[in-house]
């Protein structure tokens, strides 16, 4: 993967403990809709889960399902706007 990431986010992104679907935009919901980073930020915020040192952000897809994304990945995408 060729992207300029800080050492910290690179460490997060290469961690095996999270499945890829938590680490990359666009986020795909089980209903088939996909959410690029900017649209993710518009979805209804549900909360965050602590996963050790990391946090996972939860939001509602428009279908009603709760979908999850690593908070560090969301923050990075938001900063790159």
Residue 46 touching Zn ion (CB under 5 A):
no
Q: Say whether residue 69 binds Zn ion (CB under 5 A).
A: no
CA angle (53, 71, 48) in 5-degree steps:
80
Q: From the CB of 24, what's the least distance to Zn ion, in Å?
A: 17
Quick one: 52 or 64, whose CB is closer to Zn ion? 64
Count CB neighbours of 23 within 10 A: 16
Query: How many residues sit close enough to Zn ion to count as binding (CB under 5 A)?
Result: 6
Residue 14: half-sphere exposure toward Cβ, Cα within 13 Å: 10
Residues that bind Zn ion (CB under 5 A): 29, 31, 33, 61, 63, 65
């Amino acid at each position: 993967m060729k992207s300029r990431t800080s050492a910290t986010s690179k460490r997060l992104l290469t961690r095996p403990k999270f499945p890829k679907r938590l680490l990359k935009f666009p986020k795909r919901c089980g209903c088939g809709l996909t959410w690029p980073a900017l649209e993710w930020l518009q979805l209804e915020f549900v909360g965050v889960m602590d996963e050790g040192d990391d946090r996972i952000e939860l939001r509602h897809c428009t279908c009603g399902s709760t979908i999850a994304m690593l908070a560090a990945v969301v923050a990075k995408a938001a900063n790159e706007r």
